Amino acid sequence: MTVRRDFEEPARCRPDLVIGREELFAGAREQLAGGGSVLLHGPAGIGKSTVLRALAADNAGATRTVLRCSATESESHLPFLALADLLGLVVDEVADRLPGAQRTALESALTGRGESTLQRDGLALRLAVLSVLRALATEGPVLVVADDLQWLDPASAELLGFAARRLGDTPVQLLCAVRTEGQEYDRHLRALPPDSLAVRLNPLSRTQVSALLDHRGYTGLPRSTVRDIHRTSAGNPLFALELGRALAEDPTPPRPGEPLHVPTSLRALVLNRLGMLSDEARRTLLVASAGARPTLALLHAAGRDNAESETAQAAALGLLATEPEGPAVRFAHPLISAALYAEAPAQERRAAHAALSTAASDPIERARHLALASSGTDPEVAARLAEAAAQARDRGAPSVAASMGLLAARHTPADSVPGADERRLQAATDAITAGEMDLARDIAHEVLTRATVPAERVRAWIVVIESAGHTLGDVDSVFPQALADAGEDPGLLALVHYQLAWRGLIVEGDFAEGREKAAHSAELAARAGDRRTELLALAFQAQTETLMGHPNAPATIKQALKEPQDPQVACHHNGPGLARFRWLQMSDQLAEARTTVTALLREVRRRGMVESEVHFLRLLAETELRSGHCGRALDLARESLRLARDSGIGEVASALLTSFAEAAGGDVDRALALAREAEEHAEGIGDQMYVSRALAALGHAQLVAGDTQGTVRSLRRVRELEHGLGITDPARGRWHGDLAEALVRIGELAEAQDVIDVTREQALRLGRESVLAVVDRAEALVRARRGEHEAALGQLTSVQDRLGKLGYGLEEARAAFALASLRTRRPGPTSYDEAARLFRRCRALPWLRQVEAAAVAPPPEPVAAPAPTLDALDGLASMERQVAALVMEGATNREIAARLFISVKTVEATLTRVYRKLGIRSRVDIVRLAAGRRTK
C-alpha cells in the first residue's frame, strides 16, 4: 500500500470525532464502505479536518493506496501544486503504463519543467490523471483525501474533477472537505463523482462542547461558564477549545455579566477587518457588543447618532449580519462581539455601559449596565441590582437573577443590611433553581471562608448539600458542621434535618429513617414558623410513606396540601404537588395524574426551574408509558434525558426511565445500555434506591430482549434491595409481574407463585388494582404451565378487560399477547391480530416485532402438566406443610383449625395456596399423593 507519510494519523484523533459527530460519521462511513465518495463541508473551525482524518483512518484497512493533498490559501495561486501532492509519490509506479503524450504532459506538470499548461496540454493532462488513477486501482482500491478544497489551485481542481466524473465503477473514492458558509457547496461537488454524499458539519450542542472541553483537559469549568463558551463560540469546536484554554490559563475569571475573555489567537482570527472601520464605527460596535439585544433604536438612545451608516459599514466588512426584516443589530458570529469587547480598553467599556444604563428599556438590563459602569461599592447600585434580581426571579429567569445577585453583592458596602453574603446566598439559591450547581457550590464555599453568623453558615452548608444532588455521600462531613452551626435554633435545625432525611434515604437506603427525619424537620419548621421548609418536609414524608405502603400516607399528603402554600414549593419537584401526583399515579388514577404533572411542568417552565423541569418531564413520560402512549413517552423521556445531561441534574433517573421507554417503543439495545449506565452510576455514588430502580429497568429490558435468565438475576436482586429499603408498595416499581413471568419461562413455578402471592397480598392491602391485574396475568402463565389451560385462558381474558378499563394500554396488549400465545397450544385456529392491533395502537414497536415473529412461528409442542409428587411439599411454607399433612390424614377443615389453633378461613386460604403451589385442584389430589406414598 502506498501512503504519504504525512498522512499517517495518530490514533488519538479518533476520540475527538465521536463527540457530537456520531450520526454523520456513521453515514459517511457507510457511504465509503459502499464504494461512494464523501464531501464534508461547513464553516471554519467546525471540525471538518478532524472528521476527515478519522474517516480516512477508519477506511484505511479497505484501501491499498491513499493519496492526500491539503491546500493552503497562500499557495493556491501555484498551478498543479495539489496535483503534485496527490500523485508525486506514486506516479513512478504506473508511468510506464501511460501513453507517451500523457506521460510527458504529466511529468512536465508535476516537475515544473517544460511549462506545461492546461491550455497547451489540456487533453493529455486530463487523460493522464484519469489513467494514473485507473492504473493504481488495478492493484487495489484507491482513496483520494483532499482537505480545504476551497484552496485547491484551479488547474488541479479542474483535473481532479475531470477524472472524478469519468471513474465510473473504478474503485477510486474521494474524501474531501471544504470550507463553506450556509449550504453553498454545490460547485465543489464538481470535483467529486456524481453520486457523492455531501455532509454538513453543524455546530456542537452545549453538552457536546462540555464533553469536548473535558476531553481536552479543561475540566472543572462551572456549567455557567460552559454555557457562556457554547454561546460565544456558537458551537464551533475550534473557538470553544480556544476559549476554554484561555479560561484555564487566566486566573482572573470575567466579572458577572461580562462577556468571556477572548484569547489573542481568536481576536486576530475574527477581527482582522476591524482596522478598516472608522473610530466612530468601532465605538458604535462596542456599544452594540455591550448590549444584550442591540437595535438601531438602542444605539441612537445611547448617543450613537450615525448608527445606520456605521453599522452598514460594519456589515459590508462582514462583521455584522444584515437583518432586512427587523431593527436588530446582529454580529456575524457571537465571537466577534466578545472579541471586540475584550479588545476595547476598560475605560471605553465602562463608557459604553454607562450610556446603556440609561438607554436600555428593560430595568434588569439597565441595572446590569449600571453595575458594569461602576467600580467599588455603592449602596444605591447594590439596591437596584438586588431589585433587578428579584424581577428576574419573578420572570422565571433564575440564571439572570443569580448573575444580578452576585453583582449586587459585589457593590454592597460592608455595613449594609442585607449584607453582601446574604445576597450571595440568595444568588446561590437562584443558581440551584437554574440548575447551575457548580456556581452555587462555589458561592457557598466563598461565603463559608468568612461568614460568622450561624444563619448564613447553615444556609451556605445547605447550598453545598443541595448542589451535591444524589452524591450526598461525598458531603457526609458537612452534616456535623451544619448541625454545630445550627445550635438550638429550631429553624436552622429544620433545614439540616430535612437534608438528613434525604441522606437517610439515599446514602443509608433506609426509608424508615428518612421518614423519621422528615417528620422531625416538619415539626421543627412549624415551631420556627418556616412554612417553606415545613411543606418540603411534609411532602418528603408523604412520598416516603407512599412508597413504604405506610397507612399514614393519605393523611400526610392531605396535611402537606393544606393552606397556606408557598408558590415556589407548590410546584417544586420535591413539593406537595409531586406527592399528590405520585399518589394519583400509584392509585391508578392516570388521567388525573397526567393533568397534575402537566400543570406542574408548565409552571416550573414559566419560573425557569430547570431541575424541576427535568423531573416533571420524566414523570409525564412515565405517566404516558403507563397509559400505553409509548411514542409520546419516548419523546418526553429523551427530552428529559437531554436536559438532564445538559444541566447535570437527574441523569440517573432520566436514563432509567428512558430505558423503560426505549424497551416499550424504541430500541431495545439502547434500553439495555441506558439501564446498565444508570445502574453503574447509582452503584458508584452508593444510591441504593436508584440501584434498585435501575435494575428494574434492566430486568424489563432483558425480558423484552429475550434474556430470561438475565431478567431473573436482575429482578431477584431488586426484590432483595426493596425488602432491605422497606418498600412494600408494589406500585412503586411494578417489576413483580416481569419477575414472575421470567420465572415461569425458566420453569421456576413455585418461586413465581410465591412472588405472585406476596405481591397480591400487598396490592390487596393498598388497593392497587393494576398491580393485581398484572400478577393475575403472571399467575395465568403459571396455571398454563401446570396444564390448567381453561382456567388460564379465562383468567387472561378477565385480566385484559380489567387493564383496558384502568387505562393501562401496554399491559392490556401484553395480556392479549399472552392469551394468543396460550391459544396456539390448543387445537383449532388462533390469531395474534388483537395483540398486534393493541401494540400498534400503543406504538410499542419492540413488542409488535415479537408478535409478528410469534405469528409466523410453528405452534409449540404441548407440554404435559407435571404430576404432583411428595417432593413438591418441600417447596411449601411450614404452615402449608402442616395443613397438607393433616388433609392427607383425612382431617376436615374444622378439625385442622382446632388442632393448629387457627380459624377455618385461614385453613381455607392456606389450602388455596397449597393447591396453586402443587399444581392441583382439590383435597382429593392431596389424598392421592398420600395414597401414592403408601403404595411405594
pLDDT for residue 828 is more than 70:
no
Cα distance between residue 354 and residue 606, in whole Å:
32
Phi, psi dihedral angles at 394 (to 5 degrees):
-65, -30
Residues 896-906: tens digit of each pLDDT: 877 766 666 67
Q: Write the CA distances from 927 to 386, 867, 924, integer angstroms.
A: 85, 14, 5
pLDDT band at 913 (very low <50, low <70, confident <90, very high): confident
pLDDT-based confidence at residue 757 (cuts at 50, 70, 90): very high
Q: Of 241-255, 562-576, 799-813, give the lowest mean pLDDT range.
A: 241-255
* pLDDT at residue number 871: 56
Cross-strand pairs, 42: 179
Per the prediction, the chain carries an average pLDDT of: 85
What pLDDT, on the 0 to 100 scale, is given for residue 589? 95
- pLDDT by residue (tens digit) across 581-621? 999 998 999 999 999 999 999 999 988 888 899 999 999 99
First and final C-alpha spacing in the chain = 80
Q: Give the residues across from 145 on adjacent strands.
A: 68, 175
pLDDT of residue 634: 95
CB-CB contact of 778 with 756 (8 Å): yes
Lowest mean pLDDT, pick from 11-15, 76-80, 790-794 = 11-15
pLDDT in tens, 615-646: 999 999 999 999 999 999 999 999 999 888 87
CA 69 to chain centre: 40
* pLDDT, tens digit (0-9, with 9 covering 90-100), for 338-369: 888 888 898 999 999 999 999 998 899 999 99
Q: How is residue 73 written as a grid cell?
A: 490559501
Of 930 and 443, more confident: 443
pLDDT of residue 23: 79
What is the per-residue pLDDT for 936?
A: 42
Q: Is the pLDDT of residue 443 over 70?
A: yes
- Does the pLDDT value for residue 84 go beyond 50? yes
Work out the pLDDT band at 830, boundaries 50, 70, 90. Answer: low
Peptide bond into 730 cis (omega under 30): no
> Between the CA of residue 300 and those of 303, 308, 427, what are the distances in Å?
5, 9, 33
DSSP 73: G
Segment 224-237, tens digit of pLDDT: 788 888 888 888 88
For residues 497-508, average pLDDT: 89
Q: What is the pLDDT of residue 865?
A: 46
Predicted local distance difference test score (pLDDT) of residue 185: 66
> Contact, 435 vs 611, CB < 8 A?
yes
Query: In the prediction, which pLDDT does 863 show?
Result: 46
- Res 916 pLDDT > 80: no
Longest dimension (CA), the chain: 120
Beta-carbon contacts of 664 under 8 Å, excluding residues fewer than 6 positions away, are 625, 630, 633, 634, 704, 810, 842, 844, 846, 847
Q: What value does the mean pLDDT take over residues 447-464?
A: 94
**For the ranges 353-362, 570-579, 724-733, 773-782, which has the lowest average pLDDT?**
724-733
- The answer to whether residues 191 and 160 touch, using CB atoms and an 8 Å cutoff, is yes
Residue 92 has what pLDDT?
Answer: 84
Residue 870 has pLDDT above 80, yes or no: no
Mean pLDDT confidence for 396-419 = 91
In the chain, the percentage of residues whose pLDDT exceeds 70 is 89
Q: Which residue has the higher pLDDT, 6 or 371?
A: 371
Tell me how far apart the alpha carbons of residues 755 and 671 are, in angstroms, rounded to a whole number.
Answer: 25
Q: Which pLDDT does position 323 carry in this prediction?
A: 58
Q: In terms of pLDDT, which residue wins out, 830 or 677? A: 677
Helix axes 118-137, 154-164, angle to 10 degrees: 50
Q: Which of 1-10, 280-289, 319-328 ranks highest by mean pLDDT?
A: 280-289
At residue 908, the pLDDT reads 75
Q: Is the pLDDT of residue 20 over 80?
A: no
510 within 8 A of 535, measured Cβ to Cβ = no
Q: What is the mean pLDDT of residues 251-268?
A: 72
Mean pLDDT confidence for 655-660: 94
For residue 383, pLDDT beyond 80: yes
Give yes or no for residue 878 having a pLDDT over 90: no
Q: Cell 382431617 identifies what position?
A: 891
φ and ψ of 175, to 5 deg:
-125, 110
